[in-house]
Chains A and B, each alone.
Chain A
């Protein structure tokens, strides 16, 4: 994540979208959005190079997540001419923290919004709804995961009270 991140601060989205839990029938529409996000991540670091079979992987991972009670997958539908079109999505995972408290964390691993829907506060709305659902599932902390070089995401989350708590450093082998 994140490519929903250049939204200005806003209470409710100015471009209305319809946000709902994703269904297995959404998978074909979600896959291209997920791939767009991963290709964006690829821009930041060669270690985030997208695999050739990423499309098939995306299908499988999404299907798994949709069946997993410890995952939150939301689909954002457009309105008007884009009614019934999935224009964005969020994928978040619940994980136990055996050594720290709060004991459960909700990790937002993917958040993506088609460009035309950005800059209207929709990203903010997506984040708020996701956070609420993670909290309802028992998370006491929400974590956003994205490429370290993604300054837009850094700014998006910093504005909303997020701060770096752990750092993941890598080198290729």
Chain B
């Protein structure tokens, strides 16, 4: 969800009553197609999206006696004697790997590692642009989760952190857990943690606006994929009563009595655990039975605006909160949800108010853990990022249509990064124990650098301007 790597989808079940949104959807499909054609054109023109750039002066080849042999041997020996020095003497402190097997690329499915590379390059660009993080795209060809884990373990010495990306659920859970356990650096899976953290941030503010507390909520999660399973876990960490959470998947309400629970025990222990802990009243049935009287509906399921019928929103508690986060099309259109009584509506899209977007989370989270040289990234850090993001929405005035900062509010990022750094220090997982102000200043400086760099490269003519859209296509539009 969130980052809009949109692909067009058909909406056969849209009624004529919603002709307006129907036309909007059609227009969006045209736009998506145009973006696609342009992206291929530009990818060819620039030959991909990123390159490595030296960050040291090179006055002549003689300088390589310092940057390379013989001088470099002393640098290597120093690290051999004290491996932690790798974070001082090399770029490891700011370099992460974006690792994928291409098994579940957003909007595209199981396209494999080669075809996933453009997406990972794009992600690397986002990491640099928003977080000042040097991210290396690494799609890998692996046959099993064990091979995946082993491969990343072998690559880890070069990196200060690992960002796992677009891996199918539920294998992504086992891979993340194993790597978090084995590696002495932060390992993150954005589809689980980034999305869940941004949902939680939005939810915290939605609760404030509707005068609710987590402890008294009844929450329904629609979709039991990577994001919602983690959202459920984070809700529990925030003190949500597990019995007052119901998860709904394609088979209906997840419950310990369901016939597939034994199979879940084997195939998806994360979902199995929630099957045993949640749905206290033993509700059975589907979404309709689950949402009746619920305060919150968090949907991260499938891009079909008829997934959540307006009657279901009407059956919720007064002033309900509805997050419809499927991309490119939400499970219910925001105007429909509001007309049915929803007090707060959020989606994964930037063209509606209240975009729940993992791009608000992963850049500052990595900025923070890298600046703290953290050894891990536990849920407490994820929640610290979510809380800070939620708090920063107040700066411009919290309202039902301004639930979270938008991507344009880049001043928010260093604040979130500093909150992450603080959390790492508090939890004793920071190798670099900076103060809040130091974290904030470092993050501000690092995050400001990429824009200056891109501007300088363009001004020097090193990054050529984008070639114009061919005239015949311009006329067509």
Interface residues of A (CB under 8 A from B): 3, 6, 36-37, 39-40, 43, 114-116, 118-119, 150, 152
Q: How far is the CB of B272 from chain A (nearest CB, A)?
A: 8
Complex CA–CA separation, A48 to B416 (angstroms): 53
Q: How far is the CB of A6 from chain B (nearest CB, A)?
A: 7
A-B CB contact pairs (8 Å), 17 listed? A3-B262, A36-B259, A39-B262, A43-B262, A43-B263, A43-B267, A114-B256, A115-B261, A115-B262, A115-B265, A115-B276, A116-B256, A116-B257, A116-B276, A118-B276, A150-B266, A152-B266
| Interface contact B276-A119, CB-CB below 8 Å | yes
* Chain A CB within 8 A of B162 CB: no
Complex CA–CA separation, A150 to B257 (angstroms): 21
Task: Please name the residue on chain B nearest to A116 by beta carbon.
Answer: B256
Report chain A residues within 8 Å CB of B267.
Answer: 43
Interface residues of B (CB under 8 A from A): 256-257, 259, 261-263, 265-267, 272, 275-276
Partner of B257, one of A3, A115, A152: A115
Complex CA–CA separation, A119 to B257 (angstroms): 15
Report chain B residues within 8 Å CB of A118.
Answer: 276
Report chain B residues within 8 Å CB of A36.
Answer: 259, 262
Complex CA–CA separation, A135 to B73 (angstroms): 69
Complex CA–CA separation, A36 to B265 (angstroms): 13
Report chain A residues within 8 Å CB of B262.
Answer: 3, 36-37, 39-40, 43, 115
| Interface contact B265-A3, CB-CB below 8 Å | yes
Report chain A residues within 8 Å CB of B266.
Answer: 40, 43, 150, 152
Task: Please name the residue on chain B nearest to A6 by beta carbon.
Answer: B265
Task: Please name the residue on chain B nearest to A81 by beta carbon.
Answer: B282
| Interface contact A115-B263, CB-CB below 8 Å | no
Task: Please name the residue on chain A nearest to B258 by beta carbon.
Answer: A115
**What 12 new A-B contacts, CB under 8 Å, besides A6-B265, A39-B262, A115-B256?**
A3-B265, A36-B262, A40-B265, A40-B266, A43-B263, A114-B257, A115-B257, A115-B272, A115-B275, A116-B256, A116-B276, A152-B266
Most chain B CB within 10 A, of A39, A116, A119, A150, is at A116
Report chain A residues within 8 Å CB of B272.
Answer: 115
Q: How far is the CB of A80 from chain B (nearest CB, A)?
A: 13
Report chain A residues within 8 Å CB of B257.
Answer: 114-116
Q: How far is the CB of A101 from chain B (nearest CB, A)?
A: 37
Q: How far is the CB of A28 from chain B (nearest CB, A)?
A: 18
Complex CA–CA separation, A114 to B261 (angstroms): 9
Report chain B residues within 8 Å CB of A3.
Answer: 262, 265
Complex CA–CA separation, A39 to B261 (angstroms): 11
Complex CA–CA separation, A39 to B264 (angstroms): 13
Complex CA–CA separation, A32 to B278 (angstroms): 24
Complex CA–CA separation, A37 to B265 (angstroms): 12
Q: How far is the CB of B245 from chain A (nearest CB, A)?
A: 16
Complex CA–CA separation, A18 to B176 (angstroms): 40
Report chain B residues within 8 Å CB of A150.
Answer: 266
| Interface contact A40-B256, CB-CB below 8 Å | no
Task: Please name the residue on chain B nearest to A42 by beta carbon.
Answer: B263
Report chain B residues within 8 Å CB of A119.
Answer: 276
| Smallest CB-CB A-B distances: 5 pairs | A116-B256, A115-B256, A40-B262, A115-B261, A3-B262
Report chain B residues within 8 Å CB of A6.
Answer: 265
Task: Please name the residue on chain A nearest to B269 by beta carbon.
Answer: A6
Report chain B residues within 8 Å CB of A37.
Answer: 262
Q: How far is the CB of B261 from chain A (nearest CB, A)?
A: 5
Most chain A CB within 10 A, of B257, B265, B267, is at B265
Q: How far is the CB of B280 from chain A (nearest CB, A)?
A: 11
Task: Please name the residue on chain A nearest to B273 by beta carbon.
Answer: A119
Complex CA–CA separation, A29 to B324 (angstroms): 42
Complex CA–CA separation, A37 to B262 (angstroms): 8
Report chain B residues within 8 Å CB of A115.
Answer: 256-257, 261-262, 265, 272, 275-276
Q: How far is the CB of B184 from chain A (nearest CB, A)?
A: 27
Complex CA–CA separation, A144 to B130 (angstroms): 56
Q: How far is the CB of A117 from chain B (nearest CB, A)?
A: 9
Complex CA–CA separation, A116 to B276 (angstroms): 6
Q: How far is the CB of B402 from chain A (nearest CB, A)?
A: 43
Report chain B residues within 8 Å CB of A114.
Answer: 256-257
Q: How far is the CB of A35 from chain B (nearest CB, A)?
A: 10
Report chain A residues within 8 Å CB of B275.
Answer: 115
Report chain B residues within 8 Å CB of A43.
Answer: 262-263, 266-267
| Interface contact A152-B276, CB-CB below 8 Å | no
Q: How far is the CB of B55 from chain A (nearest CB, A)?
A: 48
Complex CA–CA separation, A40 to B263 (angstroms): 6
Complex CA–CA separation, A115 to B267 (angstroms): 15
Complex CA–CA separation, A42 to B262 (angstroms): 11
Most chain B CB within 10 A, of A3, A115, A150, A152, is at A115
Task: Please name the residue on chain A nearest to B264 by beta carbon.
Answer: A115
Report chain A residues within 8 Å CB of B256.
Answer: 114-116
Complex CA–CA separation, A6 to B256 (angstroms): 14
Complex CA–CA separation, A115 to B262 (angstroms): 7
Complex CA–CA separation, A3 to B261 (angstroms): 11
Complex CA–CA separation, A16 to B147 (angstroms): 43
